[in-house]
Amino acid sequence: MLLELLLFTALLVGLYFLLHSTVLRLPRCKSSAKLHGKTAIVTGANTGIGKTTAKDLARRGARVILACRDKRRGEAAVQEIIQETGNNQVIFLQLDLASLKSVRSFVENVLRTESRLDLLINNAGLMNDGKTQEGFGMIFGVNHLGHFLLTVLLLDRLKASGPSRVVTVASRGYEYGKIDFNCLTTHRDFALGDNDYQLFLKYCHSKLCNVLFTYELAKRLQDSNVTCYSLHPGAIKTEIGRYAGFWWRLLMTPVTFLFFTDVESGAQTTLHCALEQGIEHLSGHYFTHCAPLLNVMPKARDDAAAKKLWELSERRCSGQEAVGAQREFLWSVLKQSLVSDDTNSTFIH
């Protein structure tokens, strides 16, 4: 019995290594580009794919800004990257994508302290419930809206530093996503509900937003020297599900262990989109395995939806819809007051 158990265990271990050396093995970024004199921003760079990406850019000589919410973890990541790469031009700037005010403050700091910006890596993402500071659904606010505002506010600096690139980490999960514009308008979120499965679907919706945002952004940058790309990093072991519920973690832990790969592999397509020469004509495209995926689903190339999402995002970031809602509320109160006055006057008379 013990021998059979040992043989079975050895078989499983062998299968694990076989899978990860063949089927699950991801291609590497082949670029040998050096980045001395270049500046890059990486959001969510204190852990996972973001930290690995920042480390690679620093190793190539770039000045790298780690844009993270958690100051302690961000500064620890800075020290780790400096120690491993020998590049002292790695800094932390606080950015909370769940606060549009924080995004604007971050951009003000960057524009005041940095004379150029060559790479913007929109890497941060989460799968949490809750609301942002402005009352948006957390996944919508962080995964899409915060990065939308960040990118738009930095476009002039990116153009002035060109050729430059915007790289947004999406996911194959976009295939399961959809955008309910009515729900976004009414509830300021992708959908109602916050159980683990519903959060996963919201995450997929946000990844479709990432793909459509990049697609629309490329159109608006056609006459500039800024290009943009979205990508699927692969099935990667990251901390994105660290706040998931018990049953979700119970389900996903063995799947992640067996079939997901490491963060270094997960950073390769990001690096390819950021560094590979000769892909400028593919601006707006979606990449996976360090190559453009040309047969994306039709909803990832929906011109009307991409334009509508951009316009809705502009309104959300500018607060126009909030102002409009406030006006409607005040007008309804005023009308009730007028009706009440009329009723009282009639009664008195």
**Inter-residue contact 209 to 309 (CB < 8 Å):** yes
- Is the alpha carbon torsion for 256, 257, 261, 267 positive or negative? positive
Of the candidates 16, 176, 203, 215, the residue annotated as catalytic is 203
Distance of CA 242 to the CA centre of its chain: 17
The structure tokens 């514009």 sit at 181
**Inter-residue contact 216 to 312 (CB < 8 Å):** no
**Inter-residue contact 170 to 121 (CB < 8 Å):** no
Helix intervals (H) in 140-245: 147-160, 181-187, 196-220
Instruction: State phi, psi for 66 to the nearest 5 degrees.
Output: -85, 110
- Coil, strand or helix: which one is 298? helix
Name the residue type at position 160.
A
With a CB cutoff of 8 Å and minimum separation 6, the contacts of 243 are 126, 127, 128
**Inter-residue contact 208 to 178 (CB < 8 Å):** yes
16 labelled catalytic: no
- Coil, strand or helix: which one is 257? helix
Q: What is the token pair recorded at 163?
A: 């050729």
What is the C-alpha separation between 225 and 221, in angstroms, rounded?
8
What is the C-alpha separation between 91 and 312, in angstroms, rounded?
33
Name the residue type at position 116.
R
Q: What is the token pair recorded at 157?
A: 């600096």
Name the residue type at position 277.
Q
- Fill in the DSSP letter of residue 26: P
For the annotated catalytic residues, the residue numbers are: 203
